[in-house]
Amino acid sequence: MTTINRTSSKSCFGGKVEFYKHSSSSCNCEMSFSIFIPQEASTENKLPVLYWLSGLECTEKNFMEKSGAQRCAAENSVIIVAPDTSPRGCNIEGEDESWDFGSSAGFYVNATQEKWKNHYNMYDYVVTELPKVIAANFPVNDKKSISGHSMGGHGAMMIAIRNPEEYYSVSAFAPICAPSLCPWGEKAFGGYLGDDKNTWKMYDSNCLVETATQKIPILIEMGACDPFRETQLHLETFHETCQKHEYPLTANIHEGYDHSYYFVASFIEKHIEYHAQHLRSLS
């Protein structure tokens, strides 16, 4: 069993928000995550988990501190787990030089390039390792859903499309919908995966929906005033691809909202309830 070390614990809406560190076999370094555990959770009453993936420049703290999701999660009996967004402190040359690559920008892929492949395996960490760590240490059942924001929205959608049998539902806030077509994604995929764009397709939701056989409905919220909407997020391109391949997508555009956590906090209750409904209806 992986040993986890609690670094902080705070009471919140009757439950607990806690922060942990542990040694990761996927990333070969110390990784961090936060968790919200509703008061009713116990070994006799195990609850489902919503995994939240955060965006560029974020850590395991941003969502727990800024989203206000805990009240609704407590009311709907859902545990929330939010991992850090990348390995850190791996002594890789250049890992801290850019805000959109390296530290805080793991992009939820398994790196293939020599410089990064021993540590930057966030796909394996989120899909396989972290759920095992959570199951071994907390009162969770086998039901899980996934959501995220920006780079984390990309990660949530991509992971769910690739593993539809593993998740009961998926949603995203301002996700990077077609990373192969935007500057953030091109930089990350080129750096972590190299020049082989067939490898890029494995981590690009816009490409994955073209070949998906088992389909999991996707819910997206986007701010109409998001400064990255046209250049980085490509929701319209993704929407067209989903329509062409009859992939179930609900996308809502909200006037007056941008890319910030003010936007996430405004609609997070809707998403918690969305996931809770799916987790209950498939019992």
Does the annotation count 24 as an active-site position?
no
d(CA 275, CA 211): 25
Q: Which residues contact 32 (CB under 8 A, 6 or more apart)?
A: 7, 19, 20, 21, 59, 60, 83, 84
Determine which one of 26, 150, 180, 266 is catalytic: 150
Place of tokens 């907390």: 138
Global pTM exceeds 0.85: yes
The answer to whether 83 and 53 are in contact (CB under 8 A) is: yes
The answer to whether 23 and 49 are in contact (CB under 8 A) is: no
Does the annotation count 150 as an active-site position?
yes
d(CA 146, CA 169): 7
pLDDT tens by residue, 215-272 = 999 999 999 999 999 999 999 999 999 999 999 999 999 999 999 999 999 999 999 9
Does the annotation count 77 as an active-site position?
no
Determine which one of 119, 154, 234, 259 is catalytic: 259
Determine which one of 54, 226, 275, 278 is catalytic: 226
Domain 4-281, CATH homologous superfamily name and number: Alpha/Beta hydrolase fold, catalytic domain (3.40.50.1820)
The structural domains of the chain, with segments of one domain joined by +, span 4-281
pLDDT tens by residue, 107-165 = 999 999 999 999 999 999 999 999 999 999 999 999 999 999 999 999 999 999 999 99
